[in-house]
A and B are shown apart, each in its own frame.
Chain A
């Protein structure tokens, strides 16, 4: 029962340090998308055309989210020193979600396939994109062009 006798082996300063890293990562993930177009330009300038802005956004947004989640789980939730099967349990649950995505995305993410077509979704996309184009032409065309 006596969890409070367990030794986490860390002092307060350790947790504050982790927190500092988390904040730094947070700043990167906010700044990432802002500087992404500039980085793309710079990379194109030195000949690295493969580097695209959306990649930077993806890495700074989701790559860093995974790192942050890992830091919190490993250090704050003490998964690092917890019995190993707890980690396996949580990873299993995450894997189930990937399974769910894998099984469902062919139907929900795509709107047409062999012998079928999600007409309602395609019409909605068509309608919405046209409406956005019309609105974008009026006000902030530049911002609209940034999206993909």
Chain B
């Protein structure tokens, strides 16, 4: 592939281009999730009957998943820490750990959804469940996407290449974590 253009190496703002772009990605993701969650919130507050629907979610699954994501975020920041010190191998190892967290998260989600669907709480069951599956599903897609990118970056980092990208995927991953931090009370706790 081509070498980087000189443009990419300039930094008039003092923030490297890659990181600046990731911040803009995060900014645009805030409004995507924000629009969905605000729509949910309005419906949730406007529909007293959803309280009963929501009581059928299992906060233990949600809680464990929060724990998993928080821990994977810790791994991501430790990967960044290692990358800052120039230790690509260690950074790659932490990234694989983060990715494993993401996969465990998806696995738990799969079990949880299987149980719920087998109890008849499908996406078309009622208003609450359609938002539940849409919001959590959109989030899960971000987790899967993040995992794939992370493995690519880990593979580079292992060879001491593109170490600055470890931080970039970390920022994205923490954002996905924060989205879940809000999804957890919205979908599981508030009843």
Q: CA A60 – CA B63 in complex, angstroms?
A: 14
Is A55 part of the contact surface with B, judged by Cβ < 8 Å? no
Question: Which bracket fits the contact residues of B?
Answer: 35 or more
Most chain B beta carbons < 10 A, residue from A93, A110, A124, A148: A93
Given contacts A72-B174, A97-B34, whether A147 and B84 have CB atoms under 8 Å apart is no
CB-defined interface of B24-43 with A at 8 Å, one 1/0 digit per residue?
10111011001101110111
Is B55 part of the contact surface with A, judged by Cβ < 8 Å? yes
Is B45 part of the contact surface with A, judged by Cβ < 8 Å? yes
Stretch with Cβ within 8 A of A (4 or more), from B67-75, B105-113, B115-123, B133-141: B67-75
Are B31 and A97 in touch, CB under 8 angstroms?
Answer: yes
Contacts of A26 in B (CB 8 A): 63, 66-67, 70
The secondary structure that dominates the B interface is: helix
Contacts of B73 in A (CB 8 A): 19, 72, 76
Are A23 and B185 in touch, CB under 8 angstroms?
Answer: no
Given contacts A72-B174, A125-B47, whether A96 and B34 have CB atoms under 8 Å apart is yes
Given contacts A1-B11, A30-B189, A76-B76, whether A121 and B70 have CB atoms under 8 Å apart is no
Are B27 and A89 in touch, CB under 8 angstroms?
Answer: yes
Are A15 and B74 in touch, CB under 8 angstroms?
Answer: yes
CB-defined interface of B162-191 with A at 8 Å, one 1/0 digit per residue?
011001001100110110011011000111
Contacts of B37 in A (CB 8 A): 97
**Interface set of B (CB-CB < 8 Å, partner A):** 8-9, 11, 13-16, 18-19, 23-24, 26-28, 30-31, 34-35, 37-39, 41-43, 45-49, 51-52, 55, 59, 63, 66-67, 70-71, 73-74, 76-78, 81, 83-86, 126, 163-164, 167, 170-171, 174-175, 177-178, 181-182, 184-185, 189-191
